[in-house]
Amino acid sequence: MPEIRVSPRERLVLTAIIELYIATGEPVASQAVARYFANKDGLSSATLRNVMSTLGESGLLDQPHTSAGRVPTPAAFRYYVEQITRADAPSSRIGVASGSSTDSSPLSEQRRGQIEDSFTGIATSAEYLERTSHVLALISSGLGVALASSTASQVLEHIHFSRLSQGRVLAVLVTQAGAVFDRLLTLDHELSSVDLETAARYLNENFRGWPIERIRVEVARRMDAERAACHQMLASIDELCRKGALAPAETAPAIYVDGMANLIAAELDRERLRQMLLALEAKQRLIDLLSAYVDGRQQEVRVVVGLDEASPAMQDLVLIGAPARLGGGNLGAVAVIAPTRIQYQEMIHAVRYIAGLSHRLLDPPAQ
């Protein structure tokens, strides 16, 4: 969409209207804006009415009824997000979505403490993602969503090797999500039952709780680094890995959703609520939504105002999401989906903070 151009005075008034609307949920009248700017020279009631009229003509304000105040449009919220993120992300642009990396308004000590306490005892990626959806729903009064990447749920719990015949080995892999995978491996070099037991013990003792993809990389790294007595053991493990013992399985990504009741309480129009719930209850649509807007290769928070491209019923919702990473890999995406009347700065920081917890909670120490 074309860039929105407003004067400094219009920007000041628009920001005030948006923040008043976020705080009250009611259309904002010129009298309320005048009280907001009670001590500002050059912003008389007449001036404010003229500015609000201009903002309305620009598509940034709506007037629900002739005698009512004004409400910000999705375009206004996009512009607002661009302004609050511009200081630390000067290259960001808001069209349908906005990237954000601002830290100008960090979370309060109380909020950080609340988040930290909520994640006490978390030990697996599945627990982290499930808890994330709950915490984001709680602090946003919206929908908390956490999507595992296609391989994020594949974290090693246990592996066992059984020798079937010459050059043929059965690998049984159990993930911390409870999935069990059987792989029949055809090896280039014969491994004894003792070799297989040693390999399984080494993997289970050293890599339990590691993402499977990262284990394969680490075993190869240690192979290059080790030239001592354990080289032969690592060589056996490396071959088992290369033959598919730790190959990622094709599984549907897990998605965790919490806080649907928050959206029900916030929406008064019953038919629009029905349509919105139908759109959000389709989990594949939520998976597609997060996959489309939250890029696991990036570190930034993404803000998407107006989700009508996903569904017309979601036009008055905003998505604030970020990738969660672990050990250099993509763990998944965490996000808030809420009405556009959300405390943007706080939620941007909260989403970023929680996404960053994945490293501290789950990243195993270097060996």
Specify the CATH class of 1-72 in words. mainly alpha
What pLDDT, in 10s, does the model give residues 329-363? Answer: 678 899 999 888 889 989 999 999 999 888 888 76
Domain boundaries, the chain: 1-72, 100-152+252-362, 156-242
Query: pTM value?
Result: 0.70
Q: Indicate the residue type of 63.
A: Q
Question: Is residue 57 pLDDT above 50, yes or no?
Answer: yes
CA atoms within 13 A on the CB side of 49: 5
What pLDDT, in 10s, does the model give residues 7-54? Answer: 889 999 999 999 999 988 889 988 888 888 876 666 787 888 899 999
Measured CA to CA, the distance from residue 89 to residue 84 in angstroms comes to 9
CATH match of 100-152+252-362 with 3.30.450.40? yes
Strand partners, 171: 161, 183
What pLDDT, in 10s, does the model give residues 191-249? Answer: 888 888 988 888 898 888 777 777 877 877 777 666 554 556 667 777 777 766 666 55
CATH architecture group of domain 156-242: 2-Layer Sandwich (3.30)
CB contact burial 305-336 (16+ within 10 A = b; e otherwise): bbbeebbebbbbbbbbbbbbbbbeebbbbbbb
